[in-house]
Structure 1
Amino acid sequence: MQVAIYPGTFDPVTNGHLDIIKRAANLFESVIVAVAVSTPKRTYLNLAERLELLKAATSHLANVNVKPFSGLMVNFARKEGASVIIKGLRAVSDFESEMQVALMNKKLAEDIETIFLMATTEYSFVSASIVRQVAIVGGCLEGLVPPEAAEILQRHFRRR
């Protein structure tokens, strides 16, 4: 069975992330959405919220599992029996940084491939950081994130 991993912070999960997950689920027998436990980036949603949102948003995809991870992605991939890491790209700027990470992963684990999936035009402008900015000022999140994520973001930023 070919297992692929789609890693990220998913802070929050966006419809762009979900598009990549659905497309990966059509390409691989099993997809693990790996949610970073800790990251150099500051997360706005806690790990439990991020896991809950992803599980709800992917519950209709039988071959997708959501799991937390920490440490090196290639170590997690080996532990899970994955041979592929999926990365989504929106723009050339994404490619630059993701290529460096992919090359480092290849150096650390020659047997694990990184595959890039291009964002569809509909979601090419959507990023978790821009969604958070919209949420902070009370803007409409419809079409950017799943409804559950919109609710949590609105509650989270209303408290601030």
Structure 2
Amino acid sequence: MERVALFPGSFDPFTLGHEDIVRRGLSLFDKIVVSVGHNSKKRRYIPIETMLGHIQQTFQGENRIEVITYDELTAELAKQYQANYLLRGLRNTTDFEYENSISQVNRYLNTQLETVFLITSPAYAHINSSIIREVHRYGGDVNAFLPYEL
């Protein structure tokens, strides 16, 4: 059976840290579906279609990575893609507390779904999408943190 993982997130923006998790995840999974979700608690800074294009460009030529948008429960999306895994990156203990709660709910909603956590590579542990948005909003250059130009 093919090992399919979803890598869900708002990715506003998608960073070098996100790219690193996906590329490292390819050693664990046969296919990774980068799933750009609509977060009801967040107002997007970068339009979702723009971000979708940037992520597709980042993984151009890699046939084991698919990039989609979605607006539903992640646990339900996993069923549609026959994904039994969620791939998530952890920078610190704060991320773990948040991601652990989400993984428990996803497992309740879809008992076939396992969450796999990868620790962020040290070179990217300081990168945070919220900080990048704020720096960019005020005219700072954020391209050193992204796999594309913003």
Would the TM-score normalized by the shorter structure come out above 0.5?
yes
| Residue 143 of structure 2: aligned partner | 142
Indicate the residue corresponding to 1:70 in structure 2: 71
d(CA) in 1 for partners of 2:139 and 2:61? 29
What do the CA deviations read for 1:23-54 (whole angstroms, capped 9, x no partner)? 11221100000010343111111111111111
For the aligned residue pairs, the C-alpha RMSD in angstroms reads 1.2
- The aligned residue for residue 82 of structure 1 is 83
1:139 to partner: Cα distance? 1.9
Partners in 1 of 2:52 and 2:129 — Cα distance?
15
Residues 29-108 of structure 1: pairs in structure 2 closer than 5 A: 29-108=30-109
Please state how far the C-alpha of 1:109 moved relative to its aligned partner. 1.2
Q: What is the distance in 1 between the residues matched to 2:84 and 2:56?
A: 22
Q: Is the 8 A contact 2:15 2:146 kept in 1?
A: yes
Matched letter for residue 92 of structure 2 = A
Taking the aligned partners of 1:32 and 1:147, their CA distance within structure 2 comes to 19
Q: Which residue identity does 2:38 align to in structure 1?
A: V
| TM-score of the superposed pair, with normalisation by structure 2 | 0.94
Q: Deviations over 1:68-121 (max 9, x none)?
A: 111110100000110000111111000001100001111111111001111000
After TM superposition, which residue ranges in structure 1, 4 or more long, deviate above 3 angstroms? none
Q: Which runs of 5+ in 1 are unaligned?
A: 151-160
Measured in 1, the distance between the counterparts of 2:142 and 2:48 equals: 21
- Decide whether the 8 Å contact of 2:54 with 2:148 is kept in 1: no
Give the count of matched residue pairs.
149
Task: State the alpha-carbon separation in 1 of the partners of residues 111 and 125 from structure 2.
Answer: 30
Q: Which amino acid aligns with 1:109?
A: N
Q: Does 1:128 align with 2:129?
A: yes
Distance 1:147 1:74 in 2: 29
Name the structure 2 match of 1:14: 15
* Residue aligned with 2:83, SS: coil
More displaced 10-residue stretch of structure 1: 48-57 or 38-47? 38-47
TM norm structure 1: 0.89
Percent sequence identity is: 32
- Which consecutive unaligned segments of at least 5 residues does structure 2 have? none
> Structure 2 CA distance, aligned partners of 1:83 and 1:98?
17
